[in-house]
């Protein structure tokens, strides 16, 4: 082989390697089972949503999608794990409001949400519902605010922990209603609800699936939900926004993200597939039965949404002088 032929062969081999590398980086679906990480234990809202969506995703792409529960630190462990995971399209995370837009303003989390994780699509959202025990003696949000404004009144609100969505919802309501409810953090929703039912705490911004059975049993009084619109499954409970506080919105939400270095073509394909699943009639029905509203988005829409949430919650953290437990 002469020098010219050698150069041509080397060039062809280089092109083959580069083309092959690019093609393999963009292979979809991944050649190995997909892992969908969830930052909470099995049985909760995030886990339920992940399993409904994972099943349909697997059917659509012809590849197994395995849900991997990595609970702990309010979901931060799962986000750190995903940030350092393989960027070949085989790893997704159903990320959540706390680790993505609240926790980084309260503590060191071991990842940068907008650098180490890549937005893929919105997932699901749901409002909290502000509930009080019957002993509080109010039936509307206006009555609750009037009570909290009385001289010498002490009104407490429970949360699932400092920096949680339920905590931030209460602090934002304190700010907008110009009241001073006392925050009492708990280690999860179960003990918070237990103390509310025992009338040891006044109020709780609770997840609807947790609170509504006790509302229906007559033990708790629902005052308002925290979304801009009434959810279809709670049509008779007004929103905070329509009860005198326009624009008030404090949603719990979950969104799909991937390791930050995942190639854009793979992220685009995942967006297409996830949006397709979230728009599926049977999937929507199953999610709504769990009190979850599908939130499909483009990648750019999710990025904008997360940035707005980040700005909103960082401001609340600073203005209300919120600190981690």
pLDDT digits (tens, 9 = 90+) for 121-147: 999 999 999 999 999 999 999 999 999
Residue 162 has pLDDT above 60, yes or no: yes
In angstroms, the CA 20 to CA 267 distance is 19
Question: Is residue 251 pLDDT above 80, yes or no?
Answer: yes
- State the average pLDDT over residues 201-213: 92
pLDDT for residue 9 is more than 80: no
pLDDT band at 15 (very low <50, low <70, confident <90, very high): very low
Whole-number percent of the chain with pLDDT over 70: 92
pLDDT confidence bin for 26, thresholds 50/70/90: low
Q: Which residue has the higher pLDDT, 289 or 83?
A: 83
What does the alpha-carbon distance between residue 78 and residue 69 come to, in Å, rounded to a whole number? 8
pLDDT the model gives residue 325: 62
- The pLDDT of 236-259, averaged and rounded, is 97
Per-residue CA distances from 13 to 1, 5, 17, 163 (Å): 15, 12, 6, 54
pLDDT in the model for residue 289: 87
Start-to-end C-alpha separation, the chain = 71
| Domains of the chain and any CATH numbers | 31-126+252-319 (3.40.190.150), 129-243 (3.40.190.10)
The pLDDT value recorded for residue 23 is 35
Q: 13 vs 308, which has greater pLDDT? A: 308
């Amino acid at each position: 082989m002469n020098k010219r032929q050698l150069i041509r062969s080397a060039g062809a081999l280089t092109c083959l390697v580069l083309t092959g590398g690019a093609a393999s980086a963009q292979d979809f679906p991944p050649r190995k089972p997909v892992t969908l990480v969830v930052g909470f234990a099995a049985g909760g809202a995030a886990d339920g949503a992940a399993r409904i969506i994972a099943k349909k995703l697997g059917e659509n792409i012809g590849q197994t999608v395995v849900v991997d529960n990595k609970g702990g630190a309010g979901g931060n462990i799962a986000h750190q794990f995903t940030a350092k995971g393989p960027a070949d399209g085989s790893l997704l995370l159903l990320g959540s409001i706390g680790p993505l837009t609240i926790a980084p303003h309260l503590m060191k989390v071991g990842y940068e949400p907008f650098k180490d994780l890549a937005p893929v699509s919105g997932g699901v959202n749901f409002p909290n519902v502000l509930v009080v025990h019957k002993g509080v003696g109010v039936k509307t949000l206006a009555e609750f605010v009037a009570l909290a404004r009385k001289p010498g009144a002490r009104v407490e609100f429970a949360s699932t922990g400092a920096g949680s969505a339920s905590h931030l919802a209460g602090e934002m309501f304190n700010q907008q209603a110009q009241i001073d409810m006392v925050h009492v953090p708990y280690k999860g929703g179960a003990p918070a609800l237990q103390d509310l039912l025992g009338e040891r705490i006044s109020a709780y911004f609770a997840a609807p699936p947790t609170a509504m059975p006790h509302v229906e049993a007559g033990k708790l009084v629902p005052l308002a939900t925290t979304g801009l619109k009434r959810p279809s499954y709670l049509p008779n409970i007004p929103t905070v926004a329509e009860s005198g506080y326009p624009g008030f919105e404090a949603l719990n939400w979950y969104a799909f993200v991937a390791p930050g270095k995942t190639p854009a073509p793979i992220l685009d394909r995942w967006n297409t597939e996830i949006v397709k699943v979230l728009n599926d009639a049977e999937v929507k029905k199953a999610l709504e039965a769990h009190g979850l509203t599908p939130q499909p988005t483009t990648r750019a829409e999710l990025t904008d949404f997360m940035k707005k949430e980040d700005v909103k919650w960082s401001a609340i953290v600073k203005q209300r002088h919120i600190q981690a437990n």
